[in-house]
Amino acid sequence: MDFLLSGLAACGACVFTNPLEVVKTRMQLQGELRAPGSYPRHYRNVFHAFLTIGRVDGPAALQRGLAPALLYQFCMNGIRLGTYGLAEARGYLRGPDGRLSPGRSAATGALAGVMGAYVGSPIYMVKTHLQAQSASEIAVGHQYKHQLFPTQSWQTALASAMASSVLVVLAMTPFDVASTRLYNQPTDACGKGLLYRGLVDALTQTARAEGFFGLYKGLGAAYFRLGPHTILSLLFWDQLRHLYTRHSHGAGR
């Protein structure tokens, strides 16, 4: 039940924060492997991106990819919060003295996050493809026709897992940029193979072509999304657990 309640809580938060995920994805793909100033900037900042997407693609485009985003959140956070809650309920987070152990808590949270991100990785790829799709005049990145579970989906699970296990936005953003591009990558210029060979190659190519700040594209959208999403997820999780506990105790009388 912990896994179900955790997944539902994350889905509730996702409904409110998915527009920021759309904006973040577009901004991270903008000017991919091109030097600053050599490409048109369709999205100048978070707020301009909101207005541009709503004006050109329509307001509904701000919720593009919502279905796979909900499924991803259910899988990833259902495992992450559910595993953590289960460990907490069984006392694994407490040391021999009975007090909460920061080390055990951090290790459990990180391991649960990696597990959830890995399992949800193929769904994240579908979400990225959908959120990148736009009208030609503001298109960024490779414009895929939607394909369920592409063959390279599991190959990029490590990048997603690393992005999900880093707690600080500044540390997470370069990995997030790299994972977004890995999930949305086309073939190379000669049509032979994929554009990036892996996480390190994506980071290296991005920094070399776009400069250091190319690794921080979409930072504003990531920052504005992370806080509300975390707070809403925990709020919904706490309320759902409270309702379930109250209902269980009431049914047992």
Give pLDDT tens digits for 117-154. Answer: 888 888 998 899 999 999 999 999 888 876 544 545 55
CATH pick for 2-251 out of 3.30.930.10, 1.50.40.10, 1.20.1260.10, 3.60.20.10: 1.50.40.10
Residue 176, pLDDT > 90, answer no
- What's the one-letter identity of residue 68? P
**Backbone dihedral angles phi then psi of residue 100, each to the nearest 5 degrees:** -65, 130
**Position 165 confidence tier, pLDDT thresholds 50, 70, 90:** very low
- Please list, in sequence order, all residues whose beta carbon lies within 8 angstroms of the beta carbon of residue 108, skipping any fewer than 6 positions away: 83, 84, 87, 92, 93
Encoded tokens for 168:
């600080």
- Please list, in sequence order, all residues whose beta carbon lies within 8 angstroms of the beta carbon of residue 88, skipping any fewer than 6 positions away: none
**Backbone dihedral angles phi then psi of residue 91, each to the nearest 5 degrees:** 80, 10
User: Across residues 224-239, what is the average pLDDT?
Assistant: 84
Whether residue 33 contacts residue 182, with contact meaning beta carbons closer than 8 Å, is answered with: no
Report the distance separating Cα 175 and Cα 164, nearest Å. 9
pLDDT of 167:
45
**Rounded to 5 degrees, what angle do the CA atoms 24, 41, 140 make?**
55
Instruction: Tell if the pTM clears 0.75, that is, is over it.
Output: yes
Report the distance separating Cα 34 and Cα 208, nearest Å. 9
More confident residue, 53 or 192: 53
Give pLDDT tens digits for 80-89. Answer: 877 887 888 8
- Please list, in sequence order, all residues whose beta carbon lies within 8 angstroms of the beta carbon of residue 2, skipping any fewer than 6 positions away: 81, 82, 85, 86, 89, 241
Would you kindly state where each structural domain of the chain is located, as residue ranges? Answer: 2-251
